[in-house]
Amino acid sequence: GDSVTQMEGPVTLSEEAFLTINCTYTATGYPSLFWYVQYPGEGLQLLLKATKADDKGSNKGFEATYRKETTSFHLEKGSVQVSDSAVYFCALRINFNKFYFGSGTKLNVKP
Amino acid sequence: EAGVAQSPRYKIIEKRQSVAFWCNPISGHATLYWYQQILGQGPKLLIQFQNNGVVDDSQLPKDRFSAERLKGVDSTLKIQPAKLEDSAVYLCASRGTGGYNEQFFGPGTRLTVL
C-alpha cells in the first residue's frame, strides 16, 4: 500500500550545521510529495512540495528533490538556525486526493 | 484570509463519554479532512469530504466515530463512546479546488480520555 517512511528523531544539531532528514515512500499511483513543519505550539504548515519526478521544492532555505528512481524526498538545509527547531513531516498525496504522512522527525538546533 | 478554525482546543473526558469537535474550513474550500494525530506519530486520515459528500472514510472506526458536513461548509466529528486510545490531537484541514492546491490545517483539538 501507499506509505511514507522517514528517519526517526530526535535530530540534534548545532547552529549552522547541515541538515538532512531522510524520507522514502511507496506509492501505487502518481504521488505528489510534501514536507510539512510543526513549530512548538503551532499547527502543521506546508514547507515545500514537488509534484513530479525530478522537481525540486524549496522554501526558507530548505530543499527537497523528488527522486523517482530511489523513491525518496530527502529534506536538506545548508545551515540550520535555532528557529528551525520543530517537527518535520514528510507526506505524499495520491491522485490529487488522499494524503499519507510519515511519523515525523523532531529537530533540535542548539545555539 | 481567515484560516481553518477548530473548537474546542482542549477537551478532557472520561472513557465511555461522548465528545464532539467542530471545524470551520477556509471559505470556498470544497475539500475537508479530519485527521487523528497520536503523540509521536504523523497524522492519520479519518475521513475526507468533498463538499458535503464523503470521499474516503476507510480508516474511520465507524462503530464509535461519526462525522458530518452539512451544507458543505462546517463539519463535526463525534466520538461515542470514547476509549483511552482515542487520546490524540484531532486535526481538521481544508483544500481548495484544483489538483495542486495545498491543504491548510487548523490548530487541532487535543483530546485526553481518562
- For residue A101, give the nearest of B42, B99, B106 by CB distance: B42
The nearest alpha carbon in chain B to A9 belongs to: B40
Sheet containing strand A56-59, edge to edge, reads A19-21, A75-77, A62-65, A56-59
- For residue A101, give the nearest of B43, B55, B56 by CB distance: B43
The whole-chain average pLDDT of chain B stands at 92
- Split at pLDDT 50, 70, 90, the class of A96 is low
pLDDT at A94: 84
Looking at the predicted structure, is the pLDDT value of residue B97 above 90?
Answer: no
Nearest CA-CA partner of A7 in A79, A106, A92, A108? A106
In this prediction, residues A20-28 reach a mean pLDDT of 94
Query: Does residue B62 belong to the interface with chain A, where contact is any CB pair within 8 Å?
Result: no
To the nearest whole Å, the CA of A101 is away from the closest chain B CA by 6
Query: Cis ω on the peptide bond leading into residue B25 (within 30° of 0)?
Result: no
Tell me the C-alpha distance between B65 and B35, whole Å: 12
By DSSP bridging, strand A11-14 and strand A19-21 are: unpaired
To the nearest whole Å, the CA of A78 is away from the closest chain B CA by 25
Query: Does residue B99 belong to the interface with chain A, where contact is any CB pair within 8 Å?
Result: yes
By DSSP bridging, strand B19-24 and strand A31-38 are: unpaired
Q: Using a CB-CB distance cutoff of 8 angstroms, which residues of chain B are in contact with residue A43?
A: 91, 105-108
Q: What is the pLDDT of residues B30-60, one digit of tens each?
A: 999 999 999 988 999 999 999 889 999 999 9
Tell me the C-alpha distance between A31 and A55, whole Å: 12
In this prediction, residues A15-34 reach a mean pLDDT of 93
Please tell me what DSSP assigns to residue A67.
B
Decide: B35 and B89 in contact? Cβ < 8 Å: no
Q: Using a CB-CB distance cutoff of 8 angstroms, which residues of chain B are in contact with residue A66?
A: none
- Split at pLDDT 50, 70, 90, the class of A97 is confident
Nine cell digits for residue A105? 522527525
Nine cell digits for residue A35? 514536507
- Split at pLDDT 50, 70, 90, the class of B96 is confident
**Across the interface, do B42 and A89 touch by the CB < 8 Å criterion?**
yes
To the nearest whole Å, the CA of B3 is away from the closest chain A CA by 11
**Across the interface, do B48 and A4 touch by the CB < 8 Å criterion?**
no
Q: What is the pLDDT of residues B64-84, one digit of tens each?
A: 999 999 888 999 999 999 999
Q: What is the pLDDT of residues A66-90, one digit of tens each?
A: 999 999 999 999 999 999 999 999 9
To the nearest whole Å, the CA of B70 is away from the closest chain A CA by 21
Phi and psi at B85, nearest 5°, equal -75, -5
The nearest alpha carbon in chain B to A31 belongs to: B100
**Across the interface, do A32 and B100 touch by the CB < 8 Å criterion?**
yes
